[in-house]
Structures are given as C-alpha cells and as structure tokens.
C-alpha cells in the first residue's frame, strides 16, 4: 500500500519502514510459526533476532526452538501491510485463522491497547466505582483499596 513505507537510515544503511503483520516461520518445520504485528517490521525482526541470539526473548516457544535448531532456521514473511489503526484487528484475524503454535497467547498483543472499543456504559461504571473507592478511602483510610482497576 502506498504511503506506508518510509525510508530511514539505520546504521548508515537504507531502512524501509513497513507497518503490518508478519510471520516468523521455521524452515525445518514450516507448521511452526509465530504471527505478530509492528509499526516497523524490519526493526522488530532485528530485535527478535537479537533477543533470540542472547537467549532473552519472552517468546519462550520460539526461544526454545532457536536454542535447539539455531537462529538460521527462522525466516521472516510479511503477510500484510496495513495502517496502524488496523494492526490489532488484522493480527487477531490472522491468529484466529492460522492458530500459530509459537504464539503463547491467542489474543493479539495490540488488542489491549484501545483496539477494542470499550462500551460507554462500562466506562461510566468504572468511573463511578473509582469515585466510590476514593470516598471509601477518605472515610476509612485504614482500608487501602487500589485505584488501578
């Protein structure tokens, strides 16, 4: 899609920024793959590789695979270029339809970052609950109720 690729210079090399959905797949076992999304897929891939190389990735299934078969067994595929506003929804659709074995969670990472609309009545209910907690904390300060609901 035009307008979603920008060229930057990273480490003195041209760097194309692509926003979209990507797949990290094993060459030896093509049925083992991970689906993710990023504002900059190539930078994200570099970060993944660096984390795998130094055994510090929080993606334990892929990290275990890399520890056993090596980093060279993984390859990157760009599944779809899209706008930032569509990342969460599109990633979730790929996860549901393809059921990637390397994904630890079946909920897209961006879903919890305002990609799913919160109903207005729920926002009002949370606000009212927070007000009641503040009032309770004033009336009975010995009872500590956290506000981060």
Q: Return the domain boundaries, the chain.
A: 5-112, 117-149
Taking only the tens place, the pLDDT of each residue in 122-144 is 555 555 566 666 655 565 555 54
pLDDT of 10 over the 50 cut: no
CB atoms within 10 A of CB 23: 18
Is residue 16 classed as helix, strand or coil in its secondary structure?
A: strand
Q: Which CATH superfamily is domain 5-112 in?
A: GIY-YIG endonuclease (3.40.1440.10)
**What pLDDT score was predicted for residue 20?**
93
Count of H helices and E strands in the chain? Answer: 4, 5
Residues 147/134, Cβ–Cβ less than 8 Å: yes
98 vs 6, which has greater pLDDT?
A: 98
Identify the burial level of 100 via C-beta atoms within 10 angstroms of its C-beta, where 0-12 means exposed, 13-18 middle and 19 or more buried. Answer: buried
Q: What is the pTM assigned to this prediction? A: 0.66
């Amino acid at each position: 899609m035009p307008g979603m690729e920008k060229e930057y210079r990273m480490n003195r090399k041209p760097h194309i920024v692509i926003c979209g959905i990507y797949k990290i797949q094993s060459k030896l076992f093509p049925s083992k793959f991970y689906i993710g999304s990023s504002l900059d897929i190539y930078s994200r891939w570099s970060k993944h590789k660096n984390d795998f190389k130094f055994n510090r990735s929080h993606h334990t299934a892929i990290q275990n695979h890399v520890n056993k078969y090596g980093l060279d067994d993984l390859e990157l595929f760009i599944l779809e270029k899209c706008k930032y506003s569509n990342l969460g929804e599109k990633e979730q659709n790929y996860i549901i339809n393809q059921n990637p074995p390397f994904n630890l969670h079946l909920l897209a990472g961006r879903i919890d970052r305002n990609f799913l609309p919160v109903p207005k009545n729920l926002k009002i209910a949370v606000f009212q609950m927070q007000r009641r907690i503040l009032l309770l904390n004033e009336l009975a300060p010995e009872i500590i109720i956290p506000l981060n609901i």
